[in-house]
Structure 1
Amino acid sequence: MRVVTLASEDDFEGWRDAARGLAQAGVPPSEILWQVGETPTDLFAGEAAMPVVASRVVKVPPRFLDLARSAILHGDPARFALLYALLADDPRRIADPADPRVRRLEAMAREVRRDIHKMRAFVRFREVRDSPAFPGIGAPGVRYVAWFEPAHHIVRANARFFVERFATMRWSILTPALSLHWDAEVLREGPGASRAEAPGEDPVEDIWKTYYAAIFNPARLKTGAMLREMPRKYWKNMPETALVRELVATARQRETAMVAAHVRSGGDADAAWRALRDEAAHCTRCDLHRHAMRTVFGEGSPDARMMLVGEQPGDQEDLAGRPFVGPAGEMLDRAMAAAGIDRASVYVTNAVKHFKFERRGKRRIHARPDAGEIQACRWWYEQERALVKPGMTVALGASAARQLLGRAVTIAATRGRVLELPEGGLGWVTIHPSYLLRLPDRAKAEDEFAAFVEDLAAAAKALA
């Protein structure tokens, strides 16, 4: 048994030099014990000095070394042995994504990169005067101190980033295993620290929290995504996170107040609607915004007594930025004309404001929005209703009915009758006009069109 002792948990150079010699000598992975520090961890530690004689040349692809540099920083104690096993077998297997060792090492590298990003994003410096806690580190004066708890051994690897970013600032970063101290000229390392050694809040943080609260945009809030990118474990080190709970809890009230403020400022409903539309243009509440061309907001008079709610924009609506301008829109216009309803007198919108689709060659084929996407758009729908205050809201299709009623329903169970809505006004559920376009039987299509016209006419009569 050969014992290799590395200088530190992130000692890539030490691992590389030892691994190169062992691999060239053909030493199998099962005969090597990797450890960190000077304390032997095995009864075979005395055999660490056994000579190694090179018997072959090992060529290592650059990709292997790149992966090893990241994986070495991981907290898994098996990383050294796992890397050596791949090296001793055939380092060219690094190009094989099916190799379980490669998959495991790549997962380690991803977690390390994420931890490096978290440190850069969530380190918060606090101003302190030099004290005995930082002896001999530059001249006395103001120092900025931060506390961080990395998940892996990434502190040294991240040091250059902070030196370059805060080159003229005297700072210290304390972590449980290692501390970094920069005096604007020289970077020094120190022993690990405890959270108690890091300073509490400073006066500047009150200014920062005021600014953070002011720029917090409730319309762009995605709590799930926020927690994925900013896990709660980092909250205790960041001053602004003390505000997050309240800001999230009051997001809806803040949004409603935003719209109400526009209405109060002269009672201009058109101005309030334009402000709401402009805000929706930047909506990122769900992932649909990543692929759609634009937000397709509702249109029509804010004074309309009837609101029509469709499912989502289609391909042509996404390109034009207006609802119901494609084939389904033409079908809707025909039906409304037959029912005696002037489209200019109604407000038309969709339950979901972005086009969801699947690509088939060059074509974008409609895909049904799921419950989460409908819920993500619910606030926009509610604000449209708050501005328009329609006496009758007609849901076109199941997705629109779900938005109207706040729960999943079937068209068959709810169609053809007046519904009293909890927030005020009446509701009506019918089919979506795109359903008529999909019917292959001409006679059935005509019958269904006539029933659709009857629904619209009945909804208008109930409103009257």
Structure 2
Amino acid sequence: MIPAQRIRADTRYVIQLPEPDDFGFWRERARALVQCDVPPDRIAWVEPGGSGDLFGRGDLRVPSPPADAPQIRVSRRFLQLAKNAALHSDPERFALLYRLLWRHQANGRVMEDKADNDVRRLEDLDRSVRRDSHKMHAFVRFRVVEDEGVEGSGDEHYVAWFEPDHHIVRANAGFFVRRFANMKWSILTPRLSLHWDGETMREGPAAERGDAPSGDPAEDLWRKYYASIFNPARLKVGAMLKEMPRKYWKNMPEAALIPELVAGAQQRESTMVDAGTLEFEERPETLAAIDKAIHACRKCPIGELDNHAVMGEGPQDAALMIVGEQPGDQEDQSGRPFIGPAGQLLDVHLERAGIDRGKAYVTNTVKHFKYVQRGKRRLHQSPNAKEIDTCRWWVESERAIVQPKLLLAMGASAARGMLGKTVSITKARGTPQMLEDGSELWITAHPSYLLRLDGEAREKQERLFDADLAAVAQRLAEMADS
């Protein structure tokens, strides 16, 4: 580094980044340059393979900040967006990040100006990177090959090919390690390759499409499954192409069936209507539309009772989505989720864990109160598996709109509503499960279960409940900082 006292006012700096996705390197250099009062127009940020000729003989050394350099001011929102934006393929992204960091020092609220061109561009980069990561999570398809590490061993190794638009491969390695921890796999891309042997992650050089296998025997089964679950009544070709662009089709065995399935969709829909098996219309696109639809829903016996549908509530962009079983008597009367005894107990434990309920989206797996009448009282009854599975349409619609990073399912019914299968709370709690959209599902007991206990049994279960919520709070904080 250049000693602070030797910095000249007209010095131009060329910063060579070791990797195109090295946000940590950029942050360290950017902090030093800001503390040395070096304005954005005197810095060129150059990726590997790029040219540093912009400033001719620009100085490659970063100055050392003076001892009395001011502390760097930066907002949490800027850091959240910047970490993602740094993975974009735009060659000007690091210059944009430095310009906004520089402006932060004079205006700590610059990120609040939604009309600002730099802020809008940063948000666009972040959005594109998140979309690319979602595509990687959704469209990577592994093909099985024999593990060449041990000749004749018959060990299976899974290989996938993916073509990212941005520098997202390293950043998403953890997702695949968590989801396929017990597999040996490789993900090959034109940028770099990832290799997981069940214990250690290795990086490899860029690959070509021909380096990945083109198919395996399991793909016939996958194609049959995809064809069997294809619902022509929910077909929206434009939306499908937006979410699953054609560039990914060649990596997906089921994609070969799409033209034929689309062509026959109208006839298949007519057949379903004639047979009386068409269950739902198109998925609602707003929370208000879901609210209206669930009040008219009579797809299961619960909806035929003398009750009222209860919609979820909370911010539409909440990072946390809390899912319970069904409304209770008080919720049914008020039209709001979790305001009865179980909800009041939940509020106590959320506050204890440092989770702000007002920032979470709170809802239930089943939207109507299931009960049996006993005189003037309505006694709660648990929904059965078919009723939960029928109502999944609505909670999945809420989730698709809110797009939470983390879901907390409370109780076995809520867990089934999220996973489509029954799980053991004892076995599932405390360990996150990755969902297909990249969000995390955490499972715990329902607070109504705690209300049915007393003495040492309740104390024990409340400790477990508190531990689950504390883990969720910690994970939310990690997500906010990442």
TM-score class, shorter: 0.5 to 0.7
The structure 2 residue matched to 1:130, chosen from 123, 129, 147, is 147
| Residue in structure 1 matched with residue 281 of structure 2 by the alignment | 283
Contact 1:126 1:201 in 2 (8 A): yes
1: CA distance, partners of 2:102 / 2:272: 64
| Residue in structure 2 matched with residue 389 of structure 1 by the alignment | none
1: CA distance, partners of 2:92 / 2:128: 15
Paired AA for residue 244 in structure 1: I
| Cα shift at 1:292 | 2.9
| Residue in structure 1 matched with residue 370 of structure 2 by the alignment | none
For each residue in 1:309-356, what CA deviation from the matched residue of structure 2 results, as whole angstroms up to 9, or x when unmatched? Answer: xxxxxxxxxx99xxxxxxxxxxxxxxxxxxxxxxxxxxxxxxxxxxxx
| Cα shift at 1:259 | 4.4
The structure 2 residue matched to 1:22, chosen from 18, 22, 33, is 33
For each residue in 1:154-180, what CA deviation from the matched residue of structure 2 results, as whole angstroms up to 9, or x when unmatched? Answer: 111100000000000000000101100
Give the direction of change, closer, same or farther, for the CA distance of 1:50–1:149 in structure 2 (3 Å limit). Answer: closer
| Residue in structure 1 matched with residue 130 of structure 2 by the alignment | 113
Pairing 1:89–2:106 present: no
Pairing 1:217–2:231 present: yes
| Residue in structure 2 matched with residue 72 of structure 1 by the alignment | 86
Contact 1:171 1:183 in 2 (8 A): yes
1: CA distance, partners of 2:102 / 2:39: 7
| Cα shift at 1:290 | 3.8
Contact 1:3 1:44 in 2 (8 A): no
Runs (4 or more) in structure 1 with deviation over 6 Å come to none
| Residue in structure 2 matched with residue 49 of structure 1 by the alignment | 61
How many pairs are equivalent?
281
| Cα shift at 1:182 | 0.1
Give the direction of change, closer, same or farther, for the CA distance of 1:217–1:39 in structure 2 (3 Å limit). Answer: closer
| Residue in structure 1 matched with residue 20 of structure 2 by the alignment | 9
| Cα shift at 1:7 | 1.1
| Cα shift at 1:227 | 1.3
Contact 2:14 2:52 in 1 (8 A): no
1: CA distance, partners of 2:232 / 2:62: 65
Does the residue aligned with 1:113 lie in a helix, a strand or coil? helix
Give the direction of change, closer, same or farther, for the CA distance of 1:224–1:246 in structure 2 (3 Å limit). Answer: same
| Residue in structure 2 matched with residue 174 of structure 1 by the alignment | 188
For each residue in 1:259-305, what CA deviation from the matched residue of structure 2 results, as whole angstroms up to 9, or x when unmatched? Answer: 45x4xxxxxxxxxxxx25xx24x2116748545325979xxxxxxxx
| Cα shift at 1:76 | 0.6
Give the direction of change, closer, same or farther, for the CA distance of 1:240–1:48 in structure 2 (3 Å limit). Answer: same
> Counterparts of 1:1-400 in structure 2 under 5 Å?
1-37=12-48, 40-42=51-53, 44-45=56-57, 47-49=59-61, 51-54=63-66, 55-90=69-104, 92=108, 93-131=110-148, 141-260=155-274, 262=275, 275=276, 279-280=278-279, 282-284=280-282, 287=285, 290=290, 292-294=292-294
Does the residue aligned with 1:76 lie in a helix, a strand or coil? coil
| Cα shift at 1:15 | 0.2
1: CA distance, partners of 2:257 / 2:61: 57
| Cα shift at 1:53 | 3.5
Contact 1:173 1:179 in 2 (8 A): yes
1: CA distance, partners of 2:244 / 2:62: 48
Give the aligned CA root-mean-square deviation in angstroms: 2.8
2: CA distance, partners of 1:290 / 1:231: 27
Identity %: 54
Contact 1:222 1:286 in 2 (8 A): no
Does the residue aligned with 2:292 lie in a helix, a strand or coil? coil
2: CA distance, partners of 1:38 / 1:195: 22
Relative contact order (C-alpha < 8 Å, sep 6+): which is higher?
Answer: 2
| Residue in structure 2 matched with residue 366 of structure 1 by the alignment | none
Contact 1:283 1:295 in 2 (8 A): no
**Greater Cα shift, 29-38 or 164-173:** 29-38
Paired AA for residue 27 in structure 1: V
Contact 1:2 1:44 in 2 (8 A): no
| Cα shift at 1:44 | 2.9
Bigger CA radius of gyration: 1
What TM-score do the two structures reach when normalised by structure 1?
0.56
| Cα shift at 1:224 | 1.6
What TM-score do the two structures reach when normalised by structure 2?
0.54
2: CA distance, partners of 1:4 / 1:190: 25
Give the direction of change, closer, same or farther, for the CA distance of 1:145–1:50 in structure 2 (3 Å limit). Answer: closer
2: CA distance, partners of 1:189 / 1:256: 51
